[in-house]
Amino acid sequence: MRAEALKGHLDGLLLAALEDGPQHGYAVKEALRDATDGKIDLPTGTVYPALHRLEQAGLIKGSWSVVGGRRRRTYELTEKGRRSLAGARDHWQEFAAVMSAALGGGPWPVTN
Amino acid sequence: MAGHELIERHLQALAERLPAPMVDELADGLLASYDDQMERLGDPDAAARAAIADFGDADTVTAAFVRASPGRQAAFRLLIAGPIVGLSWGAVLLTGDAWASTIPVPSRLTFGFLLGSAVLMLVLAVRERRRYATVRLAALGATGTVAVLDTVILGTVLTLLPPPSPLLLVALIGSSARIMLAAQAIPELVAHP
């Protein structure tokens, strides 16, 4: 999938990947890839700045641990993040319904 | 710690541009990716190349961190607020020069020099793409300078007590808002690496 098609949806995708529990950056990227059968495969290095942005916005919070001798930062959703994810889902469903209606070949509404 | 010379070199390039905690986090991701590619491909060189290709080049990753940095965001906010507050004070000084002329010339020159320095630092913080620390320091310097200058203006007005006017009120509100913006941004800029 082309990167520009994800514009405006990246935050929601990352929040959704963290919905089931804390994950580190690479696991977030892998979760997104697996959930979409490889159709959304973000460059690993660009997932981290996006996670930092979400953390600064208070939507997720990170904590450090050491795994296999490596420092690892793990992120989890905050309450604000959960609300933002719910909002992103509602917005997406509305948008998808409108686009499906417009592109699906059905009759267009009559306007004056 | 790195699993391959190519990975090590990539992390070194990132370490020259980004703070250590960010590089630690990126190293974990890049090495996890390398481990996955090793399982898939079985060849260390091919696995390192595949992991780096999937990761993204150092310029792209650094630019993404810089874009998301608190320093860049604070600099943007101040650059937007600057002309509005500056024009307000300019209008106040032009329309009420009787009180403004009592401010000594050296003080005005010092003020102008500091203001110019702050603007240059803000422009640097917004334009720099590759050095995270430069963005942070420029934003911190500019934010601190702007806060000091706005405090000096408010102190001067309180000392000289010029005749009240709607323009003066707008300028005072502008400077107060900018001090609050700086007060919000500075702790975040200090706390972040």
Contact predicate A59/A41, CB 8 Å: no
Pick A46 or B101 by higher pLDDT. A46
Is A46–B26 a contact, with Cβ atoms under 8 angstroms apart?
Answer: no
Regarding whether B106 and B20 lie in a shared domain, the answer is no
Regarding whether B50 and B15 lie in a shared domain, the answer is yes
B29 touching chain A per CB within 8 A:
yes
B187 touching chain A per CB within 8 A:
no
Please count the structural domains in chain B: 2
Regarding whether B105 and B173 lie in a shared domain, the answer is yes
Share of chain B above pLDDT 90, in %: 69
Look up the pTM and report it: 0.82
Regarding whether B76 and B161 lie in a shared domain, the answer is yes
Q: Is residue A79 domain-resident?
A: yes
Q: Is B56 helix (H, G, I), strand (E, B) or coil?
A: coil
DSSP per residue over chain A, as a string? --GGGGTTTHHHHHHHHTTTS-EEHHHHHHHHHHHTTTS----HHHHHHHHHHHHHTTSEEEEEEEETTEEEEEEEE-HHHHHHHHHHHHHHHHHHHHHHHHHS--PPPP--
A25: buried, middle or exposed (CB in 10 Å: 19+, 13-18, 0-12)?
buried
Residue B94 pLDDT: 80
- Give the pLDDT of chain A (112 residues) as one tens digit per residue: 666 667 778 899 999 999 999 999 999 999 999 999 888 888 888 899 999 999 999 999 999 999 988 999 999 999 999 999 999 999 989 988 898 888 876 666 666 5
CATH of the domain at A34: 1.10.10.10
pLDDT tens-digit series, residues A52-77? 999 999 999 999 999 988 999 999 99
Q: Which domain holds residue A21?
A: 3-102
Regarding whether B87 and B55 lie in a shared domain, the answer is no
Residue A96 pLDDT: 87
Read off the pLDDT band of B32 (50, 70, 90): very high
Regarding whether B113 and B167 lie in a shared domain, the answer is yes
Of B21, B24, B55, the CB nearest to A44: B55
Regarding whether B130 and B44 lie in a shared domain, the answer is no
Is B25–A73 a contact, with Cβ atoms under 8 angstroms apart?
Answer: yes
Selected residues 71-130 of chain B with any CB under 8 Å from a CB in chain A:
none
Q: Is residue A97 domain-resident?
A: yes
Q: Is B46 helix (H, G, I), strand (E, B) or coil?
A: helix
Q: How far apart are CA A43 and CA B54, in angstroms?
A: 5
Of B33, B65, B68, the CB nearest to A44: B33
Regarding whether B89 and B151 lie in a shared domain, the answer is yes
Q: Is residue A111 domain-resident?
A: no
Q: Which residues contact A8 (CB under 8 A, 6 or more apart)?
A: none
Regarding whether B73 and B59 lie in a shared domain, the answer is no
pLDDT tens-digit series, residues B60-100? 999 999 999 999 999 999 999 998 898 988 888 888 766 77
Regarding whether B115 and B52 lie in a shared domain, the answer is no
Contact predicate B93/A75, CB 8 Å: no
Read off the pLDDT band of B101 (50, 70, 90): confident
Mean pLDDT of B5-33: 95
Regarding whether B140 and B119 lie in a shared domain, the answer is yes
Question: Reading across the β-sheet that carries A23-24, which strands appear in turn?
Answer: A23-24, A70-77, A60-67
Instruction: Select from B46, B64, B82 the last residue of a domain.
Output: B64
Q: Which domain holds residue B168?
A: 69-191
Is A46–B61 a contact, with Cβ atoms under 8 angstroms apart?
Answer: yes
Chain B residues with beta carbon closer than 8 angstroms to that of A41: 54
Please count the structural domains in chain A: 1
Regarding whether B103 and B58 lie in a shared domain, the answer is no
Q: What angle do CA A74, A79, A83 make, to 5 degrees?
A: 115
Of A46, A52, A69, the CB nearest to B56: A46
Residue A105 pLDDT: 64
Chain B residues with beta carbon closer than 8 angstroms to that of A67: 28
